[in-house]
Structure 1
Amino acid sequence: MAYSGQVTVGGTPDVHELEDLIITKAAVGPMNNNAYLLRCRATGEQLLIDAAAEPETLLEVVGADGLASVVTTHRHGDHWQALSAVVAATGARTYAGRHDAEGIPVRTDVPVEDGDTIQVGRVALTARHLVGHTPGSIVLTYDDPHGHPHTFTGDCLFPGGVGNTFKDPAAFDSLLHDVTTKLFDALPDETWIYPGHGNDTTLGTERPHLAEWRARGW
């Protein structure tokens, strides 16, 4: 079946098979978070984006081949509830944005800066630092040499708008600026967006609404 990106808590993960990378998307409760397992086809190395909750579910998705790394997109608790258990079970390295690491109660082995590269086997992910949802949120982009980019946005970009900035106008301006300059201005419309909650989207789907988001202020 074709990948849809539509997953539910307690349901079957969905798998997006690319030429060099396999992306498995799973939803975990209680806040309907998305977790993404990336597997390099050439080496079998695996990386998890957001050990959000339900460690048993996530470890089942990881399977017997082990886990090299876990990236936490930001400091909010619903994105790291399973991190301690997953790291204890797998020995995975931990990554997080430098400015959010102090808010994550599991040691960050590799603090991430804007523009850093994170490897999963032979596949490279480029990290971008976006300020507004939290001080140190990061998004990860895989620029597929055989197709279009794939970007994992945490809670910075969703279908229909940017992430929650908690009615702080300065935080909203910052997040919309960073989303615009580091995603919409830098990547093509075909870029597939994998958010921290809910369904996937593309930059092309969302691009026509940027002015609307700015006008409404959220």
Structure 2
Amino acid sequence: MYKVCWPKGYSDINLLVAMDDAIDDGVDVLSISIGGASNGFFDNSFAIGSFHAMKKGIFVACSAGNSGPDLYTVQNTTPWIMTAAIANLGYGAGQIDPVSALHPGLIYDLSKFDYIRFLCEEGYSGTTLRLFTKDNTDCASVPDIGGDDSLNYPSMYYQFQNPNTSINVVFHRTITNVGLKNSIYKATVKALRNLKVSIILNVLAFS
């Protein structure tokens, strides 16, 4: 356990030092029950500290905050963090099913480079990107996966301003079978009335 909070709150320095200590101690999981504003990544101590934990293979879970259930009140929405709340786990990448997680079948692999691609899509580049990642990262060297988002996430998200606008959005995903060797997976879609969803390769067979 690492103490970062005091009677008047916490500071970014205390949080980052505690996370660095935890990384150096070789922890496997970091659970942080502190809400953090969902502002830019570069000035977000949760985003910075958890990114470096992720690079070491450490799973980071953070509180979604206590400002809900209104819109835009979820905190700690950084994609390399699992954002959790008591009533509605796993905001970032879909709902969490602890029982099914024991036998996931298909998994969506994510690495440091997937998150760097995400940062590049968000406009980070050059010195700013290298200051964040603490390495010689270059957006030009990160492969493009195509589609309208940059993360190999189970959930698919697209934001538009006018709900009456017609849109055409493409999402690309890569998955790995960790279930039975001889498995068949079929994709089904439950869409809203005015939303048409097509899946290319809606059946995957492994043998």
TM-score tier (shorter): under 0.3
Structure with a larger share of its residues in strand: 1
TM-score (norm 2): 0.27
TM-score (norm 1): 0.26
